[in-house]
Amino acid sequence: MKTKYEEYVKVMRKAADISGAISLLSWDKEVNMPKNGAAFRSQQVATLAGMRHEMLLDARHGINLKMLYSDRNLLDSKERKNIEISHKHHERRSKLSTDFVMRQSKAVSNAYHSWIEAKKNKDYSLYKDALTEVVNIRKEECELVGYEDHPYEALLDQYEPGAKVAQLDTLFNDVKAQLVDFCKQIAAQKQVNADVLAQAYDKDKQWDFGLEILKRMGYDFNSGRQDLSPHPFTTHFAPTDVRVTTRIDENHFGSMTWSCIHEGGHALYELGLPQEEYGLPSGSSVSLGIHESQSRLWENNVGRSLPFWKHNFSLLKEFFPKELKGISVEDFYKAINQVYPSPIRVESDELYYHFHIMIRYEIEKGLIEGSLSTDGLNEVWNQKYKDYLGIDIQNDAEGILQDIHWAYGSIGYFPTYSLGSFYAAQFFNQAKKDIPNLIQEIEKGENQSLLTWLREQVHQHGSTYSADELCNRITGESLNFKYFMDYAKEKYKGIYQF
C-alpha cells in the first residue's frame, strides 16, 4: 500500500510541476510577453496542458488510483482524503472523451472571439449563437459527469466542491429578503462624499504605497512579487512562489489599493499551504469560495475598516499630502465605503456587489436547467438590473457583455464570489472572539495575530476538509448569511447615521 501511495504522489507532483510551468507562461503572457508572442505561447500552453491531461489519465495511474481508492481505509486520514479527491477528479476526466474536450475547446474559442466583437459593437446578437453553443456543451457535460439534485451542481462542483443549488437558493433568498431592503434604507440617507478618491494620484506613488501595504499585511516578497496587468490576479507556481498583479488608475485611488489588498489575501492563502503536501489535494486550496473568503476578509473586513486606516492613513498622507490635505481619517473611511448601485460588477461596492452575483446565478441556473434560453437573454439581464438595483442598462456592453466568464465556459463560477464574502464575515466574527484584542491590534498595524489565526484555521489544512467541514470546524456551524448582515448593519448604519 505504501509503495502504491508513493507512486500516486510521484505522478501528482509531476502534474503539479507541469501546472506550475503553465502558470508561469500564463503569468508572463499577462505581464511581460511581447504582442507577437501570443500565437506560440498559446501553442506552448496547449502542449503542456495536453501532457498533464495524458499523465493524469494514464492507464497505470488510473489502475493504481482505483486500487488505492478500494483500499483507502488502510490509509491515514489525510492520505485517504487525497485519494478520495483525486479519484473523484479522475472519474470526471474519464467521462469526457477526447472528442468532447475538442468540441468544448472550439466552442469556447468561438465564444471568446464573438464576445470581443459583440462587446466592441455593444450588440448581444453578435454573441448569442456562440453563447448558445457554450451553454449546450456545458449542459451536455452535466449529463456526462452526472449530478444528484440539479444539473447546475455538476458545473458548480468544479469551483465549489460539494455545494448544492438548495444552499445557494437559500443564501440568495436571504440577499433578496434582507440585503435589498437594507440597501434601500441606505439610499434614503444623505450620501457620503467620495470626491477625495476621484482626483489625480501619481501612478508611481500609488505603486509604492501598495507595496508597503502588502508588506504590512505579511506578504513575503522573498516568495513573490507584484506586477501590473490589465486585470489583477494572483498566481502560484509553488508554495514558495506566489505572485500578484494590480492595476492603477491615476484618477481613482481605490482601483489599485483594494486590488493590492484583495490579491494579497489570495496570495497569503497560497503561501500558507503546507509545502510538504505540494501537488496533493492536502496542499491545495479547498474551493474558490474559501479562496475568495481570504481575499475578501483582508479587502473588506480589514482593508475597508476604520481601525485599519487609523494606522495606515498617516502613511497615505505622506505619499499624497496635497491630495489629502484637510481630509480626516473618518472622511476617508466614509468615502471608501460609499454605497450606490452601479451597472458594472467590478466597480460595485461590497453590498450591491451581491446583487450582481445573484443576477448571474439566476441566469446561469436558468440556462442550465432550461427555464431560460439565450434568446432575448440581454433583455432578461436588463430587467433583473431594474428589479434588483433600480437602474436602467444603457447598452449590451455595460449589460450582459460586461463579463468574459461565459465566453470562457466558466458557468458555475460566479456564486463563489458571494460565498467568499459570506464566509469572510463569519470567519472574521470568529477571529474577533478567538483574538480578544484583534481590532486594537489592527488599529496599531499589528496583523500577525490575524495571519497566524488564518494559517492555523484555514491555510494549513489544504483540502483535507470540505468548505462546509472547514466552516463548521472554525465557527461551529455551516455558512450562515446572518454574519454578513450583522457586519453590514453595524458598519453602514454607523457610516450613514441611521
Q: Which amino acid is at 482?
A: K
Quote the CA–CA distance of 464 and 459 in Å, as a whole number: 10
263 catalytic, yes or no? yes
Per DSSP, the three-state class of 42 is: helix
Quote the CA–CA distance of 357 and 348 in Å, as a whole number: 11
The answer for residues whose C-beta is within 8 angstroms of residue 338's C-beta and 6 or more apart is 191, 192, 194, 349
228 DSSP β-pair partners: 246
Nearest to 176 by CA among 44, 358, 328: 358
Quote the CA–CA distance of 311 and 317 in Å, as a whole number: 11
Residue 359 DSSP label: H
Q: How many residues does the chain have?
A: 498
- Residue by residue, what is the 3-state secondary structure of 173-233? HHHHHHHHHHHHHHHCCCCCCCHHHCCCCCHHHHHHHHHHHHHHHCCCCCCCCEEECCCCC
> Which is the catalytic residue, given 133, 153, 160, 263?
263
238 DSSP β-pair partners: 241
Q: Count of CB atoms within 10 A of residue 153's CB?
A: 23
Quote the CA–CA distance of 340 and 324 in Å, as a whole number: 23
Quote the CA–CA distance of 416 and 426 in Å, as a whole number: 15
Residues serving a catalytic function are: 263
